Amino acid sequence: MKAIRFHQTGSSEVLRYEDVNQPTPGSGEVRIRVAGSAFNPADGGIRGGFLPIPITLPHTPGYDVSGTIDAVGEGVSARTVGEHVVGFLPMTADGSAAQYVVAPADAVVAAPTSIPLADAAALPSVALTASQALFEAGQLTAGQRIVINGAGGPVGGYAVQLAKRAGAYVIATASPRSRDAVAAAGADEIVDHTATTLLDSLTEPVDVLLNLAPITADGFAALVPWVRDGGVVVSTTPMVTTPGDGARNVRAVTIYVHPNAEVLAGLVGLVDSGDLHVTVAQRVALSELPTIHEQADAGAIHGKVVVVPPAA
């Protein structure tokens, strides 16, 4: 089968489009004929050796997948051959940038039926990140005020939709390029971060401050006084320590996305009910993935990219 792999860490030039052996599902695993594999910035960090995630070389990237189960391993009864599924794969294992991938059976759920199967790969890790940030860490409830810094990215798009659906008042930062999408997602207020600062734009305290964008330590700390007593600061950017305020019982939580099939299944249900929209910025052939990595390293990728392998 065809796959993208790297045999050493480094720049996008280490990626190779090559023939590899088709994997065989082990006990508790399924094999998926890949329809779509989503590119994530963390893929570049793993490839570059910047993220402390243990992998075995050569490694196939891609931890979001959608496709069709074509074989099941011993002990698998909940999933069946021919089933369309979507999943968030273990980051340490070989991923979905290939024609086939094996996955733990309990990591995949039935795919949405209302969107193309390949596009469903754009859902798992980013939607899970948004959900976990809002509800596990942020404990967001109806009637609360939340500010989402970096709402124009893939995680931000889901965060705005989910927060609004939960009944929150949503303040979001976005650039002119992403303003319309953030407005369509349901933001009540939009701050153009290219024209002003979030700090200068806030007028009332918020219950939850969610940071999804690069930020300086000082800039982050300056926003904390705008969080109500007993509120929470949540961040997905571990390079900067998430600030809190113990004197006012303002919690600080840094989010690292983790698998949760039950929550993922719920998100799929929201897609099929029309309450959650999946947006794909680009669809590219598997052989073009090295170019996507190169463009991402240069900061030239905006929105979610779905990678489509050749027909098996």
pLDDT in tens, 169-214: 999 999 999 999 999 999 999 999 888 999 999 999 999 999 999 9
Position 90 scores a pLDDT of 96
Domains 2-123+278-308 and 126-254 agree in fold: no
Question: CA-CA distance, 188 to 171, in Å (whole number)?
Answer: 6
Per-residue pLDDT tens for 111-145?
Answer: 999 999 999 999 999 999 999 999 999 999 999 99
> What is the pLDDT at residue 239?
87
2.40.37.10, 3.40.50.10090, 3.40.50.300, 3.40.50.720: CATH of 126-254: 3.40.50.720
The rounded percent of the chain whose pLDDT value lies above 70 is 100
- The structure's pTM equals 0.95
Residue 238 has pLDDT above 90, yes or no: no
Spell out the domain ranges in the chain.
2-123+278-308, 126-254
Residues 6+ apart with CB under 8 A from 36: 65, 66, 67, 117, 118, 119, 120, 121, 122, 306, 307, 308
302 and 177 in contact (C-beta within 8 Å)? Answer: yes
pLDDT above 80 for 312: no
Domain 2-123+278-308 belongs in CATH node 1.10.10.10: no
pLDDT by residue (tens digit) across 3-49? 999 999 999 999 999 999 999 999 999 999 999 999 999 999 999 99
Mean pLDDT calculated for residue range 273-290: 97
| pLDDT category of residue 147 using cuts at 50, 70 and 90 | very high
**CB of 126 closer than 8 Å to CB of 151:** no
Tell me if 185 sits within 8 A of 159, measured CB to CB: no
CA-wise closest residue to 23 among 114, 103, 100: 100
Kindly state the average pLDDT of the residues 76-102: 97
- Give bridge partners of residue 253 from the DSSP assignment: 234
Amino acid at 32: I
